[in-house]
Amino acid sequence: MKTKKQPRKNIKKHISSKIKLMIVDAYGVALHGGYPLTSKYLAKKFKKDSKVIQKVMYDKYFNLAAERKISQKQAWVLALKELSIPTSWKEVRKIHYSFFKVNMPAILCLQSYDCRMLLLSKNTRSQFADTEKKIMFKQHFDRVINTWELKLPKADKKTIHYICRTEHCKPREIVMIDDQASNLIAAKKMGVKTVHFRNIKQCKRELDAIFG
């Protein structure tokens, strides 16, 4: 059943004349789930090191798929083969998808700030589409970008330049939120306000300071 979108008119807004756009990371901020949870699940089930699984499954093969160098299916198959995990790629995909859900407390918090919200994700086309079909997250944002479609890296100045051009704003008029600090480095150097997301309370505190 499709979830009803939270009407923004009912949310008290934090207003800033300086910030026009909020760039929000998908997995880890707007959405629950992702490779860390899948890695921990597989580690427990098959008695392996979750950090090793994460490194192989996400850092090595998923990143290749997100850069269009291999397919999403190949990423699953190659990772399982290298890790010697005796299960099918379809079963792992099913487990992976089972953890996905919208982080509504975080979404409602971010919607309380008076600016456009853009979801920025680095994902493969198939996994991004499957996630939307399962939890319908796009309805909570003014715009959604999957860098796979643009053939652009997520944590790169080229991506910020593209967003500035298409959203008609300057870097200093943007705040970017991500749970991986490495994804914020390039944006911060360009003058984008950044928040390294750890939890909602900490994120809100930093956003309140940015919005004044």
Q: What is the mean pLDDT of residues 117-139?
A: 95
Distance CA 88, CA 12 (A): 48
Contact assessment for residue 174 and residue 180, using Cβ atoms and an 8 Å cutoff: no
What confidence tens digit (pLDDT) does each residue in 180-197 have? 999 999 999 999 999 999
| Longest CA–CA separation in the chain, Å | 55
Give the integer Cα–Cα distance in Å for 112 and 48: 42
Give the distance, in angstroms, between the CA of residue 17 and the centroid of all CA atoms in the same chain: 26
pLDDT of res. 155: 86
Handedness of CA 201, 202, 203, 209 (dihedral sign): positive
Strand partners, 177: 24, 195
> What's the pLDDT score for residue 212?
85
Confidence of residue 14 (pLDDT cuts 50, 70, 90): low
- On the question of pLDDT at 12 being above 90, the answer is no
Residue with tokens 């009407």: 7
- Locate 29 and state its tokens: 């901020």
**Residue found by looking up tokens 């789930």 in the block:** 33
**What are 15-59's pLDDT values in tens digits?**
556 999 999 999 999 999 889 999 999 999 999 999 999 999 999
Query: What percentage of the chain reaches a pLDDT higher than 90?
Result: 87
Confidence of residue 65 (pLDDT cuts 50, 70, 90): very high
pLDDT single digits (tens) 95-113:
999 999 999 999 999 999 9
d(CA 146, CA 106): 20
Model-wide pTM > 0.85 = yes
89-98 helix and 72-83 helix, angle to the nearest 10 degrees: 110
Q: What is the mean pLDDT of the chain?
A: 92
